[in-house]
């Protein structure tokens, strides 16, 4: 949603003692994903580092946002969590079980992790009626007899704000917002505990985005499902998330409660992201939109040290010499930046 961020309206942080003591639903440690790339038939194969040793956790029932520019690796993280991509290194634990494997235990747990895709049209089979697409997880995981599946789909349609008479339509007969509601219903059909939402509103008209976000918040409140919400839009993240991780060129540079990060961003990249969001008033030049200087480096040849240093307005000699360690800040955020050494 292209509207000003108001940190005061961000969801209150879920930081009570009981929730902090609760074991994470999803635990990611030192996750790495590299792709082999060739530029030409006889060119030497090179490694593209899409995700570089990231760590994060999602608590039961919370909305955790992963945000960054296009190409930073956030979608790759979501695909690894759902099993669509295999990590190069690192661990992904769901409810304490390592998910990088093919044991029956992992297969059973996969049902509890579902995904909402960015493009609702591309993610639906154009040859199936939409109720059949929603029923696919029910059939695939054998959750109920086929004779009962249509009734369950009708319940899901009602939950996401669709009418029963729309069940027998094909995807091209629905609007973009309606197709995304179908995608949400399909994710809910497997009775998940965690939904990875990959840019779920970026392909929709601005007028529809708020409706889908409010629907997701309503479902979160009713069912207590946790979200790993992937986005490039801080305004969207401010509306829905309780915690946030900011990603740049395959690395997480800042993590914290959404409200704290939006009120007082610590990492220079987070500050630039926040400055790029339209404001209600522009009182002086310092508040005007200032994109980071230079171009986004290639993940085939990432900068040494801090990956943001070529574009950082506060870069120092040590920024190119060594990667910064993670520091815990007074506002509770964790930041990787030499400014705080």
Q: In percent, how much of the chain has pLDDT > 70?
A: 89
If phi > 0 it is left, if psi is from -120 to 50 it is alpha, else beta; for residue 159 that is alpha
Beta strands, E only, 62-102: 63-67, 89-94, 97-98
| Number of residues that this document lists for the chain | 341
Query: 146 pLDDT exceeds 70?
Result: yes
| pLDDT for 1 | 53
Higher pLDDT, 71 or 165: 165
Return the structure tokens found at 241. Answer: 């998330």
Query: 19 pLDDT exceeds 90?
Result: no
Q: Report all structural domains of the chain as residue ranges with CATH numbers, in order of start.
A: 7-112+192-340 (3.40.50.300)
| pLDDT for 307 | 94
State the pairing for strand pair 113-116/194-198. Answer: parallel
CB-count burial class (<10 Å; 0-12, 13-18, 19+) for 119 = middle
Higher pLDDT, 127 or 273: 127
CA distances from 35 to 4, 45, 85, 89, 104 (A): 37, 10, 11, 12, 28
pLDDT interval class at 186 (50, 70, 90)? very high
Q: How far apart are CA 19 and CA 25, in angstroms?
A: 11
Q: How far apart are CA 160 and CA 281, in angstroms?
A: 36
Q: pLDDT tens digits, residue range 54-103?
A: 999 999 999 999 999 888 999 999 999 999 999 999 999 999 999 987 67
Q: Containing H/E element for 177?
A: helix 176-188
């Amino acid at each position: 949603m292209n509207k000003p961020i108001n940190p005061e309206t961000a969801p209150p942080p879920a930081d009570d003692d009981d929730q902090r003591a609760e074991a994470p639903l999803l635990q990611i440690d030192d996750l790495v994903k590299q792709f082999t790339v060739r530029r030409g038939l006889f060119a030497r194969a090179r490694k593209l580092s899409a995700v570089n040793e990231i760590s994060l956790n999602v608590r039961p029932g919370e909305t955790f946002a992963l945000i960054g520019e296009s190409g930073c690796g956030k979608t790759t993280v979501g695909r690894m969590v759902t099993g669509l991509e295999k990590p190069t290194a690192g661990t992904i634990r769901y409810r304490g079980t390592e998910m990088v494997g093919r044991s029956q235990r992992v297969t059973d747990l996969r049902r509890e992790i579902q995904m909402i895709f960015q493009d609702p049209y591309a993610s639906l089979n154009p040859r199936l009626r939409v109720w059949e697409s929603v029923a696919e997880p029910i059939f695939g995981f054998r959750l109920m007899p086929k004779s009962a599946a249509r009734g369950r789909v009708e319940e899901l349609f009602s939950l996401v704000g669709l009418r029963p008479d729309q069940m027998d339509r094909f995807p091209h007969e629905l609007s973009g917002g309606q197709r995304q509601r179908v995608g949400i219903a399909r994710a809910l059909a497997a009775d998940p505990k965690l939904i990875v939402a990959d840019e779920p509103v970026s392909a929709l008209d601005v007028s529809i985005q708020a409706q889908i976000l409010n629907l997701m918040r309503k479902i979160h409140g009713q069912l207590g499902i946790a979200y790993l919400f992937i986005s490039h839009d801080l305004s969207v993240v401010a509306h829905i998330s309780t915690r946030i991780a900011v990603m740049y060129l395959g690395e997480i540079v800042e993590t914290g409660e959404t409200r704290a990060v939006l009120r007082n961003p610590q990492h220079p990249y987070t500050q630039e992201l926040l400055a790029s969001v339209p404001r209600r008033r522009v009182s002086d030049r310092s508040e005007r939109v200032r994109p980071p200087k230079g171009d986004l480096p290639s993940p085939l040849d990432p900068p040494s040290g801090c990956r943001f240093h070529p574009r950082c307005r506060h870069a120092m000699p040590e920024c190119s010499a060594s990667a910064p360690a993670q520091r815990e800040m007074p506002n509770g955020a964790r930041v990787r930046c030499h400014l705080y050494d």
